[in-house]
Amino acid sequence: MQSEAHTENDPAEILRRAIGNDRVHSSYLFTGTGQLPATTAQTFARALVCRNADRGEVCESCDACHRSYEDAEGTPIVLDGKGKHGPTHRHIGDHPDLLWVERGHDDTRITIGQIRDIQIALRLGANEGGRRVAVISGAEWMNPQAQNALLRLLEEPPSATSLILVANRASAIIATIRSRSVRIRFEDESTVGLRDSETPAEVAEIVQMLDDLRGQSVGQLLDFAEQYRGARAPAAEGVTELIDVSAEWLRMEVKDHVGRGEAPPTRSLDAHRSLQQLRRDLVQRNANPQMVAERLLLGLRDAVA
Ligand SMILES: [Zn+2]
């Protein structure tokens, strides 16, 4: 059994070495934000079936590479977690042994049905006689039932298969899956701070609101949380951002205190822990995004009062 691999090297290089040394594992967990973890997962999956990937590089000239190639301009196949308005998973390019799962277009979660379909496909064995690979992108959107279904696959992985989970953070993945997966960490691409000129407008708006927190009435905070009403998927994404920005804002507050030689305020540390709980409620317990936003804002107001 593999444990979480800790290394400071470049993720792409670690993966190329794994292929070059013929030491490919049955399960990987890629963690990090932005597009890089998912695009690296795609390249890694393609290299795993390339006929000439001696050094772990995709050759782009063999038959497998032609099949797994995806035109960046092309329209991706739209998935549906229930399999009604589209398939539950797709292929990378049209390679039969490379599977790709993500949250369906209109879904709030990656469904247990999607995980079961992947399990069936992986157990069938490779069409082309090589490896079969499944990428689960946005794996933080799997609920506990889906994760437990996936765990059964990891406990008895079919031979010559690899699973790649791509999640924005490891804490969204249950410990029993984490311990069976090789962890590949991506440094966050974005180093843009909360108050830089490049800070996106929606982030700046949240920071502004947090800076004014002491002067806000309960009514004003509830009004702010109103924007997270409506369709769950976009609302949940908005609240995820609210949680991320608030966590960073709190970290900076604590740093300010420490910088002045003071002890960090206990209430700020407690508030930071509460944010992690709210994140779990949102992602794993399917809590209502607007209510999570309300609890977050009222809790933070108390913490800084
Ligand atoms: Zn190739």
pLDDT at residue 9 in the model: 66
pLDDT at residue 203 in the model: 83
Per-position b or e across 262-276, b if 16+ CB within 10 A of its CB: eebeeebeebbebbe
- Rounded to the nearest angstrom, the distance between the alpha carbon of 73 and the centre of ligand 1 is 21
- Rounded to the nearest angstrom, the distance between the alpha carbon of 37 and the centre of ligand 1 is 21
- Rounded to the nearest angstrom, the distance between the alpha carbon of 59 and the centre of ligand 1 is 4
- Rounded to the nearest angstrom, the distance between the alpha carbon of 123 and the centre of ligand 1 is 24
Share of the chain above pLDDT 90, in %: 50
- Rounded to the nearest angstrom, the distance between the alpha carbon of 150 and the centre of ligand 1 is 29
- Rounded to the nearest angstrom, the distance between the alpha carbon of 12 and the centre of ligand 1 is 17
Q: Rounded to 5, what percent of the chain is helix, strand, coil?
A: 50, 10, 40
CA dist list (Å): 206 to 188, 228, 232, 245, 277 = 20, 13, 20, 7, 20
pLDDT tens digits, 35-50: 889 999 999 999 999 9
- Per-residue pLDDT band for 189 (boundaries 50, 70, 90) equals very low
CA dist list (Å): 287 to 13, 137, 263 = 39, 22, 34
* H-state helical runs in 5-58: 11-20, 36-49
- Rounded to the nearest angstrom, the distance between the alpha carbon of 183 and the centre of ligand 1 is 25
- Rounded to the nearest angstrom, the distance between the alpha carbon of 139 and the centre of ligand 1 is 27
CA distance 215 to 206: 15
- Rounded to the nearest angstrom, the distance between the alpha carbon of 120 and the centre of ligand 1 is 26
pLDDT tens digits, 234-265: 898 889 889 988 988 888 888 888 888 888 88
List Cβ neighbours of 128 (8 Å cut-off, separation of 6 or more): 49, 64, 95, 96, 97
pLDDT tens digits, 194-217: 777 777 788 888 988 998 888 889
CA distance 85 to 80: 6
- Angle of helix 144-155 relative to helix 112-123, nearest 10 degrees? 10
Three-state secondary-structure class, residue 101: strand
- Rounded to the nearest angstrom, the distance between the alpha carbon of 53 and the centre of ligand 1 is 6
- Rounded to the nearest angstrom, the distance between the alpha carbon of 43 and the centre of ligand 1 is 11
- Rounded to the nearest angstrom, the distance between the alpha carbon of 28 and the centre of ligand 1 is 22
CA dist list (Å): 296 to 12, 122, 144, 226 = 37, 41, 23, 13
- Rounded to the nearest angstrom, the distance between the alpha carbon of 16 and the centre of ligand 1 is 14
Per-position b or e across 235-254, b if 16+ CB within 10 A of its CB: bbebbbebbbbbbbbbeebb
- Rounded to the nearest angstrom, the distance between the alpha carbon of 107 and the centre of ligand 1 is 34
